[in-house]
Amino acid sequence: MKISRTCDKCQGTGKITRELSAGDIVVPRDGSGMPQGLHHVLWNGLGSIPSFNPVKILHIEGNAMFVTPVDWKGKCYDTETYSAQSWMEIDGKGVDGFWIYAPHCHLGI
């Protein structure tokens, strides 16, 4: 999966494109592509920059990514978070995480 961002060095006239892979850490800039339970864990507040905390990519399938928060900040498994979680077999191990639709999250690199 490829994502782009505006180049800071050229006054916003160019774009930097990067291929994402499992293990990368990215920051969602929009919550519309993620489940509410993940929004609940990552949300920094309206007007905050960034609006969300970073996630680590565990798996990519098309435009969907299986992610886990880099820092849970003490918000472990409450009922709002639990309903949004998924389970996936990765490298022979069962892993808990969240599916997000990457294009709607406008990921920052």
Could you report how far apart the first and last alpha carbons of the chain are, in Å?
13
The domain limits of the chain are 20-105
Specify the higher pLDDT residue, 98 or 77.
98
Q: Is the pLDDT of residue 56 over 90?
A: yes
Which pLDDT tens digit goes with each residue over 36-46? Answer: 989 988 999 88
Q: pTM score > 0.95 for this model?
A: no
- Written as six digits, the tokens of 56 are 């680590």
Which pLDDT tens digit goes with each residue over 62-89? Answer: 989 999 999 876 666 677 888 888 999 9
